[in-house]
A and B are shown apart, each in its own frame.
Chain A
Amino acid sequence: MNLILVVEDDAAIRNVLRALLESEGFRLCAAETATQAEFEARAHRPDLMLVDLGLPDGDGVNVIRHVRSWSSLPIIVLSARTAEEQKIVALDAGADDYVMKPFSPPELLARVHAALRRGTQRAQASHELLLGEVRVDIAHRIARGAGGEIHLTALEYRVLECLNRHAGSIVTQNQLAQEVWGRQRLGDTRGLRECIKNLRAKLEPEPHRPKYLVTDPGVGYRLRTSDASA
């Protein structure tokens, strides 16, 4: 039974979230302010946090930063802020995913499940990736599709590995660039784009209409594995 910490100052939305998440079998605890949120997070050690950015006593981004400094629990931002910069700031502060208000209940649930799965997957160190017909073993660098073995470059494996670690969640371009290329290549989005394009051509059944390697325009990329249809 996973425990979810909801950080949200609006009572109506807390009610909706409570109804929605409890009906899915999650346990809930709630915080209304940034201070309370950090306290609750330390006290209850939740499995996942849903954080609103506009809190009465501070910015949710700071909550994310503080929590991230001692825990790697999955954090999903739930916010009405729509500008990409704000998304990126929250993601770069350590959030795993971003859901915009107004949210659709099924989408939110899918994201929550994906984030929780990521946590357990990482614990199991699963390096097996199933993308439709294609099976990729990231640890051993073997990819096999319906048409036989697929050759991926070392760089492509690194990108895939990084996306897989955050499977189901957004990885910002900066994050990807930094983890794959290292700090000096920051801001070079062209190489990254090229790489994603090649990966799609090799792995996706319809490269122009990607099912697994999805772009979140202006923010980053998301890996949708076939067993987690978010």
Chain B
Amino acid sequence: MAEVRPDPDKLLAHLQAQEARARRGRLRIFFGASAGVGKTYSMLEAARGARSAGKDVVVGYVEPHGRVETERLLEGLERLPTFSVRYRRIVRQEFDLDAALKRHPDILLVDELAHSNPVGGEPPMRHPKRWHDVQELLEAGVSVWTTVNVQHLESLNDLVAQFTGVRQRETLPDHVFDEADEVELIDLPPEDLLARLHAGKVYIYDEVANAVERFFRIPNLMALREMALRRVADRVEAAARASAGVGLERRTRLPGERVLVATGPDRQSEQLVRAGKRLADALDAEWTVVYVETPALLKLSEAQRNRRIDLLRLGESLGAETVTIDGPTATEALLEYARIRNATRVLVGAPKRFGLKALWRPSTATELARRARGFDVITIAPAESVLPGQTREARSRPDNLPIPFRWDRYGWATLISMACTLAAFAMYPHFELVNLVMVYLLGATVSGLRLGRGPSVLTTILNVAAFDFCFVPPRFTFAVSDAQYLVTFAAMLIVGLLSATLMASVRQQTRVAGARERRSALLYAMSRELAATRGIAQLAAVAVRHVAEVFQCKAVVLLPDDDRKLHMPKGKPMEQSLRHPDLAIAQWVADHGREAGLGTDTLAAAPALYVPLGDAERPLGVLAVLPENPRRVSLPEQRHLLETFAGQLGVALERAQLADRTEAVRVAAERESLRNTLLASISHDLRTPLAAIAGAGGTLAEHGEALDKATRQSLARSVETKAREMSELITNVLDLMRFEVGQVVLRRDWQDLGDLIEAAERELGPRLAAYSVETRLPDYLPPVHVDATLVVKLFANLFDNVVKYTPPGTRVVISAVLDKSFVLLTVDDTGPGLPPGDPARLFDKFQRGSEEGSAVGVGLGLAICRAIVHEHGGDITARNRPGGGARFEFTLPLAPPAVLPASIQSAVSTVTGTNSARSTLGSEQ
């Protein structure tokens, strides 16, 4: 029981991760506590070492900051040209990712991993952050050396800001740092650093420039140094654990440790997320950032709700799973979610309600702590004092925009109140005053139910006023003679307000639930239609229609060809189609299996969002979405919904691809088996006549002199007939092959059936002489729209059957019956009838009326007949006639008279163009 065995799945994942890492380039970080400790210097020194060891080292981007030592080290190292970006009228020199990918060295040096690329510059850069560039390089198999300062780490960002008072805008997600293959700590005692600073050897960042004095103080530098050392120590410990084996990791990690960070729209949430990251790291736990949406929160301003996007993004960038949950109250929702996910710790902001208010409605933290079962609640005190930048930012934000004022609803509220008063007037002579109150209460409830809180409060107040004015003695004044009515007023007010609040809350909850339900209904609608759709192009069309409707956008599904190159769909664009997606972005998305465009980390300036279908290994396509309102796809749950849609579509596409492939394999197998049977049959039926021909020919050549004339003639005749049989067989085989391969294109034209039958008779020639063929076609029979040659072949094959399987003298009668859209043709004979067994089987390949008989042919004749009839859209059956003999029945379509398309007309005239010269010549002679 106590034995902990390595989980096979985990082992596998570990191995796969190792494998992926082997293909990836290696990331080496030169890590320091602060600017000026000599990271770039150390990196360049190491680079020179590597180069003299024969490595292909290239400097991608290094900011020399004009330091002589650095410049000297750069000498002799290959440097990539920089990428000029015009940004706010300033040309900035940036790292050129494409040049680096093209150069593809063993090791590339890129300074300042946390650097932000100018977003919105011209030409646009692919990624907003330099670490994105580095990720792509690593994926391409280029090893990268880079530098990072401890204050740039995302999770330490607010801590650093707290004690230095200087906030770093450029941050690096912790996972990038954690996943680095090597981290080299460049350590310099604070005193030495200060000495360097005073000697002017430290480059001052823009951000730090105005706070040099504040930032470069011994306590600060010591704290930073401690943080850096600790971070590296953590890494070393983790590495030790990992090298001790995967199983060990299982033992040291507390089972199922999971941290939930409960966030809301308040300003403390960002701090909570960072604290959550640190706690999760310390516990080596999985962690989730939960945004709780309650009915109350739905009333917040747009801007406030938009903060959630940033918040969840922050969580994601720190490696958290992010989720939005909803419930009647934050506490309920959190308790439920914590239970489902087996959370062990829940981080919440410290209670913000105190005194009476807290008693009336305890804060989430208090409530959660009281009802927590199976998890600890950790409250985090707000760090209000610091963060000057953030406070300023928060203040400048348009807080609490008013909810749009719905005049019509207040109008209705007034109307309801008036209606109540009218009803009360009608009742006044017959009822007690108390009962009139009931009418008003009813009105207030209706108002609360239909109009929302504000209007229903208005109704309540108007009701009280109207009741007082109209009915309470003395009537038609607001004065009240009897004090007991004050109690009635109070009760009316309280009941009205309560019901308004209650109803409003019910309505909000319904809205939340409704939105969720709508989401799953939309998803269900698309999956159902996708499941019922066949064919990749059709699937794409269905998906575009649904996505366009749900996200109010233009969309397009770009599908890859065999070379994985994406193409615009060939068909006619739909109304919802996105006409001009950026194929270059889409291709990047397909190749990397990652999203790009609007609201992503890659080419965020693009107007459309590109979501990959399938993964980078097997791209199934790209869904490009151009929303009318960018918010439709940047909200996390909208984005998740879109991703779910994309996932569904991916599964459907994969299914369709598999089906195509299976079908291709099946067809191939079927063809293969047909080929085998065919080969066996043909080789028999070819060899027999060949033997006769070779024998007869040989005899004639060798002993021709010795044979009498009659023998010679019979030998020669057998050569001729056998050759003819072979020819017939080969024609049949070739014809059938053409049908099987689908190469037959009908050359339909108007034909007289009589002509065709006559031509078939002529084709059989003397062989049919011993039989009597009678054609009974009605005079009114219109021409049929068929391929003449094929229908002649059809009749010829049927006649051939008669010759092969019935004795001479058999009568054949062909008759026709006209139906609305087709002719039913019947070919009767007076022969011995069909062989026993299912007549339908006669139309299969290699069936003959009699086994290995004298009759020649591989049994392809009727198969060809069926193929011809089917190709024309008809059907053919065989059965025995009641009076003896066989009957074959088949239908041919009577297409309505059609005008020849112009293209054919012109084609015909060009063909005959050469002809005129010839006929004039001909007539001259």
Q: Which residues of A contact B (CB under 8 A)?
A: 65, 68-69, 72, 82, 84-85, 88-89, 92-94, 102, 104, 119, 122-123, 165, 174-175, 178-179, 183, 186-190, 193, 197, 208-210, 214-218
CB distance from A66 to the nearest CB of B (A): 11
CB distance from B639 to the nearest CB of A (A): 57
Is the CB–CB distance between B915 and A193 below 8 Å?
Answer: no
Nearest to A88 among chain B residues (CB) is B911
CB-defined A-B contacts under 8 Å, sample of 10: A92-B914, A102-B723, A175-B915, A178-B912, A178-B919, A189-B749, A193-B751, A209-B758, A214-B758, A215-B759
Distance in angstroms between the alpha carbons of A156 and B754 in the assembled complex: 20
Is the CB–CB distance between B908 and A174 below 8 Å?
Answer: yes
Nearest to A70 among chain B residues (CB) is B921
Whether B724 sits at the interface, judged by CB under 8 Å, is yes
User: In the complex, what residues of A have CB within 8 A of residue B756's CB?
Assistant: 215, 217
Is the CB–CB distance between B789 and A186 below 8 Å?
Answer: no
- With contacts A82-B731, A187-B905 taken as known, whether A165 is within 8 angstroms of B922 at the C-beta atoms is yes
Is the CB–CB distance between A65 and B724 below 8 Å?
Answer: no
Whether B788 sits at the interface, judged by CB under 8 Å, is yes
Q: Mark B758-795, 1 if CB is under 8 A from A, else 0.
A: 11001000000000000101000001000111011000
Is the CB–CB distance between A187 and B759 below 8 Å?
Answer: no
Whether B22 sits at the interface, judged by CB under 8 Å, is no
Distance in angstroms between the alpha carbons of A84 and B921 in the assembled complex: 25
Nearest to B728 among chain A residues (CB) is A102
9 pairs of A and B residues whose beta carbons are closest in the complex: A217-B788, A218-B788, A215-B755, A94-B918, A187-B905, A218-B789, A174-B912, A72-B925, A102-B727
Is the CB–CB distance between B749 and A218 below 8 Å?
Answer: yes
Is the CB–CB distance between A84 and B918 below 8 Å?
Answer: no
User: In the complex, what residues of A have CB within 8 A of residue B924's CB?
Assistant: 72
User: In the complex, what residues of A have CB within 8 A of residue B731's CB?
Assistant: 82
User: In the complex, what residues of B have CB within 8 A of residue A187's CB?
Assistant: 900, 904-905, 908-909
Is the CB–CB distance between B758 and A208 below 8 Å?
Answer: yes
Contact for B915 among A92, A104, A122, CB less than 8 A: A92
Distance in angstroms between the alpha carbons of A93 and B762 in the assembled complex: 26
Distance in angstroms between the alpha carbons of A175 and B787 in the assembled complex: 20
Is the CB–CB distance between B925 and A178 below 8 Å?
Answer: no
Residue of A69, A94, A214 with highest tally of chain B CB at under 10 A: A94
Is the CB–CB distance between B750 and A189 below 8 Å?
Answer: yes
What DSSP secondary structure best describes chain B's contact surface? helix
- With contacts A175-B915, A209-B758 taken as known, whether A186 is within 8 angstroms of B908 at the C-beta atoms is yes
User: In the complex, what residues of B have CB within 8 A of residue A72's CB?
Assistant: 918, 921-922, 924-925
Is the CB–CB distance between B787 and A193 below 8 Å?
Answer: no
Residue of B751, B783, B789, B924 with highest tally of chain A CB at under 10 A: B789
Per the 8 Å Cβ criterion, residues 887-918 of B in contact with A are: 897, 900, 904-905, 908-909, 911-912, 914-918
- With contacts A122-B925, A208-B777, A214-B762 taken as known, whether A69 is within 8 angstroms of B911 at the C-beta atoms is no
User: In the complex, what residues of B have CB within 8 A of residue A69's CB?
Assistant: 917
Interface magnitude class on chain B: 35 or more
Is the CB–CB distance between B916 and A68 below 8 Å?
Answer: no
Nearest to B789 among chain A residues (CB) is A218
Nearest to B758 among chain A residues (CB) is A209
Is the CB–CB distance between B792 and A89 below 8 Å?
Answer: no
Nearest to A123 among chain B residues (CB) is B925
CB distance from B787 to the nearest CB of A (A): 7
Is the CB–CB distance between B783 and A93 below 8 Å?
Answer: no
User: In the complex, what residues of B have CB within 8 A of residue A102's CB?
Assistant: 723-724, 727
Nearest to A175 among chain B residues (CB) is B915
Is the CB–CB distance between B904 and A208 below 8 Å?
Answer: no
Nearest to A83 among chain B residues (CB) is B789
CB distance from B839 to the nearest CB of A (A): 28
Whether B752 sits at the interface, judged by CB under 8 Å, is yes
Is the CB–CB distance between A183 and B909 below 8 Å?
Answer: yes
Residue of A165, A186, A188 with highest tally of chain B CB at under 10 A: A186
User: In the complex, what residues of A have CB within 8 A of residue B916's CB?
Assistant: 178
Contact for B912 among A186, A190, A210, CB less than 8 A: A186
- With contacts A84-B789, A175-B919, A190-B783 taken as known, whether A65 is within 8 angstroms of B754 at the C-beta atoms is no
CB distance from A64 to the nearest CB of B (A): 9
Is the CB–CB distance between A193 and B750 below 8 Å?
Answer: yes
Is the CB–CB distance between A186 and B750 below 8 Å?
Answer: no
Whether B747 sits at the interface, judged by CB under 8 Å, is yes
User: In the complex, what residues of A have CB within 8 A of residue B918's CB?
Assistant: 68, 72, 94
Is the CB–CB distance between A217 and B909 below 8 Å?
Answer: no
Distance in angstroms between the alpha carbons of A94 and B754 in the assembled complex: 29
Residue of B749, B762, B783, B918 with highest tally of chain A CB at under 10 A: B918
Whether B923 sits at the interface, judged by CB under 8 Å, is yes
Contact for B923 among A165, A186, A214, CB less than 8 A: A165
Distance in angstroms between the alpha carbons of A184 and B921 in the assembled complex: 21
Is the CB–CB distance between B752 and A92 below 8 Å?
Answer: no
CB distance from B163 to the nearest CB of A (A): 89
CB distance from A137 to the nearest CB of B (A): 19
Is the CB–CB distance between A217 and B759 below 8 Å?
Answer: yes
Distance in angstroms between the alpha carbons of A93 and B833 in the assembled complex: 48
User: In the complex, what residues of B have CB within 8 A of residue A179's CB?
Assistant: 919
Contact for B747 among A65, A165, A174, A218, CB less than 8 A: A218
User: In the complex, what residues of A have CB within 8 A of residue B751's CB?
Assistant: 193, 217
Contact for B914 among A65, A104, A209, CB less than 8 A: A65
CB distance from A20 to the nearest CB of B (A): 12
- With contacts A183-B909, A190-B750, A193-B750 taken as known, whether A94 is within 8 angstroms of B788 at the C-beta atoms is no
Is the CB–CB distance between B754 and A84 below 8 Å?
Answer: no
User: In the complex, what residues of A have CB within 8 A of residue B897's CB?
Assistant: 190
CB distance from A95 to the nearest CB of B (A): 10
Is the CB–CB distance between B909 and A186 below 8 Å?
Answer: yes
Distance in angstroms between the alpha carbons of A88 and B755 in the assembled complex: 19
Nearest to B920 among chain A residues (CB) is A72
Distance in angstroms between the alpha carbons of A84 and B918 in the assembled complex: 21
Distance in angstroms between the alpha carbons of A210 and B752 in the assembled complex: 12
CB distance from A89 to the nearest CB of B (A): 7
Nearest to A102 among chain B residues (CB) is B727
Distance in angstroms between the alpha carbons of A209 and B776 in the assembled complex: 11
CB distance from B739 to the nearest CB of A (A): 14
Is the CB–CB distance between A218 and B787 below 8 Å?
Answer: yes
Distance in angstroms between the alpha carbons of A203 and B751 in the assembled complex: 20
Residue of B727, B754, B762 with highest tally of chain A CB at under 10 A: B754
Nearest to A73 among chain B residues (CB) is B925
Nearest to B922 among chain A residues (CB) is A72
Q: Mark B684-704, 1 if CB is under 8 A from A, else 0.
A: 000000000000000000000
Is the CB–CB distance between B789 and A193 below 8 Å?
Answer: no
User: In the complex, what residues of B have CB within 8 A of residue A186's CB?
Assistant: 905, 908-909, 912
Residue of B751, B775, B777 with highest tally of chain A CB at under 10 A: B751
Other than the given A89-B911, A174-B912, A217-B789, 8 more pairs (CB < 8 A) read A72-B924, A93-B914, A178-B915, A183-B912, A187-B900, A189-B749, A209-B775, A217-B792
Distance in angstroms between the alpha carbons of A37 and B46 in the assembled complex: 82
User: In the complex, what residues of A have CB within 8 A of residue B758's CB?
Assistant: 208-210, 214-215
Is the CB–CB distance between A193 and B925 below 8 Å?
Answer: no
Is the CB–CB distance between A84 and B792 below 8 Å?
Answer: no
Distance in angstroms between the alpha carbons of A183 and B915 in the assembled complex: 11
Is the CB–CB distance between B755 and A217 below 8 Å?
Answer: yes
